[in-house]
Structure 1
Amino acid sequence: MTKKFNKFLWNGKEGNSAKAKVAWGNVCYPKREGGLGLKCLEEWNQTSMLRHIWNLFACSGSWRKLLSLRSTDREFIKFEVGDGKLIHLWLDNWHPFGPLYERYGFRIIYDSHSTLEAKMNSVIRNGRWSWKLARSEEFVEIQSKLPDVPLGNVDKPIWTLSRKWVYVSADTWEFMRNRKSEINWLSAVWFP
């Protein structure tokens, strides 16, 4: 995006190619410091994200409200397994049964000689599943569904309420909202 801004600033439109008169980094300073007063997108993005964090802590109850949605969002976020470096083996929703800790409890972690914080890459070797031999019915059940979980290249979160697999507010609202029966007089009141 910065590259597009740079081209537009010096060429008037994106397609033209001309040399920049000043390095983009120098343009992104306040005028009083010799720049053009434009904001560096990366710095502004970080500033905006920090504002969200501030609002979570500063606004009364926001943090608690957000935490109360954890059980709701958990059912909508799944993971496509890649190299397993980002996904928690027991806590995240990657398996057809959902988060394994929620289904089996701590005993399955203990029996596997694992930890609650274990990542998926602890059971993936050279792009293939590498689980220890199943020594309980629970492990047999978990491992029986592994053929249904393909391994990719990188771990990827999936928002299950959207056809695009990314968070879309309209799709999420449509699923979450309260509903009433549709009315037959809609067109008499609202015009297309």
Structure 2
Amino acid sequence: MKKKSFWEYNAPADSSWTWKKIMRFRHKIRRFIVHSIGNGGKTMAWYDNWHPVGPLDVIISRRDIYTAGYSAQTTVVDIVQNGEWEVPDAWKDKYGMIFDVCPPLLIRDRNDVVLWKSKDNKLGHFKVKTAFSDLSADIDEVGWAKLVWFSQCIHRHSFVLWVAMSNKLRTQDKYMRVEMNNSLKCPFCLECKDSHNHLFLV
């Protein structure tokens, strides 16, 4: 079975909800994941982010890749030999922005390393805190955030409250959109289906 890049992989229809979500939003993290080249044997030449211009599949057409005799599994070591680009001469004219740059220095006894490139262009190992900060940089902070999250809060309570404030609780009224079930009743009043408004505002 041929190895396929995470960036071009299509999730099967029967994949889990979590995996489908990861596939849907992977483009948001692509620019943050950078490959530092060692021997070039584990980094995919076209799909991984190792070149200064970014992933090469965005620039080089798939037709050109296959016409030149390469494949999706081509690695960096396959296109860099003896300190020179090992690519068709026509590419050097057509894709000058790529091949005008000096190729990476390959070190035989050093493996490639995957790093996280933060929004301020600092390279380092992946950290959840850094990733969260970088990925949420474009999200506006809601005015009630500090009412939910504070130093003495009970985290599980704050989490439920945050979900409620975001109108994301799985209340009974939402199940009605999927299936008709008239037997559902609010466990407190037993008179009607529960909802965000019914639970927190009535």
How far residue 129 of structure 1 moved from its aligned partner, in angstroms, is 3.2
How far residue 59 of structure 1 moved from its aligned partner, in angstroms, is 9.6
Look up the match of 2:30.
74
Look up the match of 1:98.
54
Residues 42, 75 of structure 2: 8 Å contact kept: yes
Distance 2:86 2:26 in 1: 29
Amino acid at match of 1:96: P
Residue 158 of structure 1 aligns to a residue in which SS? strand
Residues 34, 48 of structure 2: 8 Å contact kept: yes
Look up the match of 1:173.
132
Residues 78, 159 of structure 1: 8 Å contact kept: yes
Cα RMSD, aligned residues only:
3.3
Q: 1:143 to 1:68 in 2, by over 3 A?
A: same
Percent identity for Structure 1 against Structure 2:
21
Q: Give unpaired runs (5+ residues) of structure 1.
A: 1-57, 183-188
Amino acid at match of 1:143: F
Amino acid at match of 1:157: V
Look up the match of 1:21.
none
Look up the match of 1:110.
66
C-alpha distance after superposition, 1:142-183 (max 9, x if no partner): 211235x4544321111102846111111111222223499x
Look up the match of 2:21.
65
The equivalences for 1:149-164 within 5 A come to: 149-152=104-107, 153-161=110-118, 163=122
Normalization by structure 1: what TM-score?
0.55
Look up the match of 2:84.
129
- 1:144 is aligned to 2:100: yes
Distance 1:61 1:77 in 2: 23
How far residue 93 of structure 1 moved from its aligned partner, in angstroms, is 0.7
Distance 2:60 2:88 in 1: 17
More deviation, 100-109/79-88: 100-109
Normalization by structure 2: what TM-score?
0.52
